[in-house]
Amino acid sequence: MMRLQRLDIENFRGIREMRIGLHRRLNVFAGKNGIGKTTILNALGRTIQIAGMNHTTGNERKDLESRTIITPHYIRFGAEQGRIHLQFLFRGKLVRTTTSSKPEEMDSDLITHFHEAGIRIPYHAFLEDRSTLTGTYMPDERTQNLISGLKILIW
C-alpha cells in the first residue's frame, strides 16, 4: 500500500512555495477557482509517475521524462526553475521522488529500497544521444508486481 506523506512545490505554475503534510486517510483541497487546487493535483501526479523512472529504459524513459519534466510554460513567472518533491511510504519503505525543470534533478529512490525491482540508470546515460539505451527491459515477475502496484495508484 502507498501512503502519501508530504508534497513540496516550488515555482510550479502559480505556486511560489508550498509544503503540504498529507493525512494518511483523507485530504481535501477546497477553495475558489484559480487558487491552485488543480495545480496541487498535477504536481502530485507528476511526482508519483517519477517513482517508476528507474524501472524504465529507452523510449519509455524518454516519454516519462518528457511527461513529467517542468517545462518553462509551467515555471512560475519570474522564477528560474521549478521543483516538486514527494515523500511517501510504499510497502513500509520511505520513498522520495523529485521532478524539476532541470532533468538532472529528476529522481526517485524507489529502486534503493527494492533492489530486485530493476536496474538504476543514472541520468548521465540519457544526455544528448538517448539512442544508447534502446530496446526494452523485460522485468521479472516480482518487478512487474511492484511496478503494477505503483501504476494502479497512478491511474
Q: What is the CATH number of the domain that holds 96?
A: 3.40.50
List pLDDT tens digits, range 133-149: 344 444 556 655 655 55
The number of domains in the chain is 1
List pLDDT tens digits, range 44-56: 999 988 887 767 7
Tell me the pLDDT of the chain averaged across its residues.
Answer: 79
Mean pLDDT, range 69-84, rounded to an integer: 95
Alpha carbon distance 21, 73 (integer Å) = 27
pLDDT at 73: 94
Question: Which residues form the domain of 120?
Answer: 2-154
Alpha carbon distance 127, 85 (integer Å) = 23
Geometric angle at alpha carbon 42, from 129 and 20, rounded to 5°: 115
Mean pLDDT, range 71-77, rounded to an integer: 95
Residue 94, classed as helix, strand or coil, is strand
